[in-house]
Structure 1
């Protein structure tokens, strides 16, 4: 009969002992000759300039961008967050993330001011019961009234709630 001497734990195989064992992760590439590296660098530079040219052309011709309409615009921003409401809808931005809502995608817009502090919160509610809040830090509490009136003017001009829609359909 054979008997083992030592621990009954099997030695770890794979990624625990060798990082190159993980599928999808490759080890360092061997050094390439200088000529090949120079050709690759030139091709990469040409590809980058072509991509930049394509991006600039795309920015110049954007069919979705409309010239801003003559009407009220609400805009508030701080160091991280930004909200813009105009004829196209409401755009919320926080750091690098942003979302756009057309007026027909919005069920309600709610504003709230902090009891203490200088935070102005705008929440966009959609008809599918989702909400998207954003907080803007005001330079002073006196800006709250100004922002409220500007946002109300934009909502009165562009936002058509269900009651107004039903009235216009009945007439």
Structure 2
């Protein structure tokens, strides 16, 4: 059972990484393109306008879509810890604390998934849409709900299989 959960967590992490990469690429691409388009717009005295309509909205929703998968992807090397405190604890307590915090984060993710799912249902029922591009708003809530479930799966996998602190690679730890 633990191997199955570990495999599911690995798949969830890889899916999260792919979503995070795509969302960052979209967000940065749209912002960079619009910055250049704005410079051309200003340089031509407003004669040439090839700015993307709704660029701010695209960037904002890309950031929303990026958040949860980025958290799941960042857990590959464990959580950030304050070494000066954690390393003073016995290893068994370190493992227990690590597993506890992964379970707390997973429970938080499941709670958020439930809340986003209900918000998705409400926005779908109301027919809410984004302001500039008139996209159905429920799509974004559904995406974040799925992403938070993936985060919960990653946390469960980490809690069950990687409860021991990871070796320090000089990154991600506060001293």
Name the TM-score, length of structure 1 as normaliser: 0.25
From the two aligned structures, give the one with the greater helix fraction: 2
| Structure ranking higher on relative contact order (CA contacts 8 Å, 6+ apart) | 2
Name the TM-score, length of structure 2 as normaliser: 0.25
From the two aligned structures, give the one with the greater strand fraction: 1
